Structure 1
Amino acid sequence: MIPLFNPENKFWSFIGKLADLVCLSLLWVCTSLPVFTIGATITAFYNFTIHQVNDTESTVWHGFFTAFRKCFKKATCLWGIQLIGTAFLVCDFWLAWQYYLSHNEGFGALLILSVICCVSFIFFSCFFYTYPLLAIFDFPLKKLLSHSFIMAMGNLPVTITLWVCWGLCSVGIYYLSGVFFVWIGLAIFISSYFLFGVFKKYTGELTEEQTLHARRKKRCKEQEVI
């Protein structure tokens, strides 16, 4: 068979991934309409794209909804935390900006603004990792948040790259808003390559923690039976 027409060819494999990505993006839009489901849909999206990176993905429909159902509760809690945190930071920034203007752009007001910007950077950087972590590892919420902080701050070059990736996504949405879901899908897909590389660094440690967590749960169940 001519290599170009071989279905196992890397080119056609990549085209297949892009086709799956478009279908997944449309599915993401439909399932995000209730708004409160956005956390679960983002997690399910990352679950599929990270498996794509590792060439272990299943069909779009099955892979997406399996992850959606599995992670719904935790992802919805994370989405709530993100919304509350975002609202809090926006209010803080607005108040600090008014204080900055009312104090003739003084140093103290500028310092407050700088602190809020730094906290915002850390907060949103963590959420670049939180949903993907939930998509792959079944951790409690506290551990998801702590690991996402460690990964975000411990891999700053990757974190900054993710900021750039999502910044370009925002530019694409601004100029071609009619296909905003495709831009978001591409941002998640590209981010997954970087996140997969970060996760590989921690896989041994995370796997060990998962095993210990599973053993604790098993002991608790055994004690309940007794």
Structure 2
Amino acid sequence: MSRFFCENCGSKLNENSNFCPSCGHKLQNASNKRNESEEILSLSSSSKRNIINTILFILIAMFSVSFYIVVFMLAFKWEGVINAIYEDYDGSSFVLFILLPLGYLLGIIIISKLFNSLKISKLFVKITFLTSLFMIITFTLHIIFTTFLYFNSEKAIEAVISDFPSDVGLHQGSIVEESQGVLKSKINILLINIVAAVGYITIVLSRYFRKQSLAFIPGLKSIFHQPNITKFKDVFKQLD
């Protein structure tokens, strides 16, 4: 067995001694130093995770404000969406209603892939998953209603024109064509957002099924085979 000497009295010591048996002097052996080093590294790693969590939360929260405003407008603010599409001289509705939601959903996917061990990343994945389900259901109902208006000329004019200020003039072309054009643009915007939401849900569920060693289709069948709330909750908790 290796032996060391007390730095205080010079007595021989065992390697793992914490105190000198002769003078009682506290010793700094290799085991203690290693434990202290591991504690320091652990604290340092924890601090870094907290900092990254905070930064991610701020960045995603700032971006998510715009995303949820757009989702709210598409779901509940008919007038605002129609006006934005009608007055779209510079492509603002395309950026606002299409690129922003697509960018946000893609951003959540990328961030959750890069920082999959962080709690804040998993939290936003789950929140966005629920939002995507809401988008699919709500926007599908809007498409059905908007399609009905599109094929009814009188209703199309009434739905579009009645939402405009009286001093806004129509573009060239007939009133019916202008109205149907606006409604068609809205349908396209809703369809693209539905596809994006479905894509997001597919990617997130694929990650979950991969952890369960399942292909996508068999994985879906396992979820919806004798479905119940407890099963859905278990799946939701494991999404990341």
- TM-score normalised according to structure 2 size: 0.27
* Larger helix fraction of residues: 1
Q: What TM-score, normalized to structure 1?
A: 0.29
